[in-house]
Chain A
Amino acid sequence: MRRMWAICSKELQLYFLNPTTYFAIAVYVLLSSYMFYVSFVGYQPSILDYRLILGNTIFMLLIIIPLLTMRLISEEFRQGTDELLLTSPVTVTEIVIGKYLASLGLLLVLIACNLVYPITMSFFGTMNIPMLLLSLLAVFLLGAAMMAIGLFASSLSQHQMVSAVIAFVLLLGLWIIDSFTMNSDIAQKWLEPFSISSRIDNLVKGVLHGPDILFYLTLSLLFLVLSIQVVERKRWR
């Protein structure tokens, strides 16, 4: 546990002492803010509904998460530091989870940035707090699953950009999986449950739907296990 925290702490330092992270967050915030401005101020009178803004900001995660996770493991491979890690007393599980927790820390920063919008809205009327909290929970769960996928993609290549592209393709596939099923009832029935984007619909409308929450948790777990398997392969090769 202590070793896992050490890895997490090291990764967090790498994140927050790296200027690139701040530039990436700035781009994320700039685009999110612009979308917020268009949605909230663009139509008058403004509607005090965070859900109208959320759709645009979560789409930004699709682009930013591969960029934020691409470095996590592939950088170790590129620099050869993976050998040091793998021969140290730290287990692969601790390495992967440590790095994943660090990415969740970064995700919390992104969510905190998103809080600026409902706070701005609250100056003009009363926000629906339970729905707001559920929306933030939705973003966290979705982001956490996406971070796990990004981490897995990072374990597949020593080239950061390749990892980012793999993560983007995987995420995009799971994001739009339900649109492949428009013309087939059977495909819809079997593929729709795996859509990561439509799974947040219940949470953002104010319904704490058990299967959705379990889906995000098990999806995160699945990609963490797969990441562990991929890194483990390095150890015995």
Chain B
Amino acid sequence: MTLVTATVRSGRRAPRGGQGDGRRRDGATWFLVLPALIPILILSVGPLLYGIALAFTDAQSGRTRSTQWVGLLNFQDLLHDTLFWESFRIGLLWAVGVTVPQFVLALGLALLLDANLRMRWLARALAIIPWAMPEVVVGIMWRLVYNPDAGILNETVRDLGLGDGRDWLTGLATALPAVIVVGIWAGMPQTTVALLAGLQNTPHELHEAAALDGAGAWRRFRTVTWPAIRPVALAISALNFIWNFNSFALVYVLTSGGPGGRTRLPMLFAYEEAFRYGQFGYAAAMGCVMVAVISVLLAVYLVGRLRGGEDG
């Protein structure tokens, strides 16, 4: 959620790049930077490198024997760990299953919010709620909705005469779709706000000119709106994909990875491996594989979309 701002900015360069050219880079600069730089190096960059190094060791929690360098052993084990690859597959399903519908829904909402409608303020206010809520509360809230007996979903199903309803979060077939719906709901605001910011950049004159030329709504969207918001759309969906793939709290609260591992995202798997079974080295190796695969997928996606031309 933190970098919606980043996505909007990243497409454009600051125009006044030359500011402060005449100033000397002196001690004062370092004085200003060090208070943030030191904690970043010690508590973020350092642990990251340490974490990558741990992936090549047999580090375990609460062990007296010293940690040994084991080379690629963890990665070899991972290669044969079918449970891990199953969780990886579920992670990808979940990330795509959340990111794509969420983007479509958020784009629709952003277009509605950009139009001059009466209930706009209410929709804006409501759209913010999922953003401000703790993920744990979002999870708890949807457990109340999905509750087989006292939940509103099954009651609605019964009211509509569609049967007795079901146990959504513990059914083998329904668990993953059920958590995906929650993921879509929870992440809508950030995506909507980012797209709305992009939309409000679109020059209205272009829109009106296209309308005067007789272009219909769909053609106006394709020729005027979409090209204008494409950089934002690309950045926010790529970021959403990463965030979703790496997500934890929501599914932890909803299903804890159950039933039978059907919703066990890679982060849940790695968390259990590290903090339930104490396999630090092995879990770190999982983290490395997650980063590597996600980076490759994203690179392919971004290169493809950027080359994709106008229709993208």
A and B interact:
no
A residues near B (Cβ < 8 Å) are none
Q: Which residues of B contact A (CB under 8 A)?
A: none
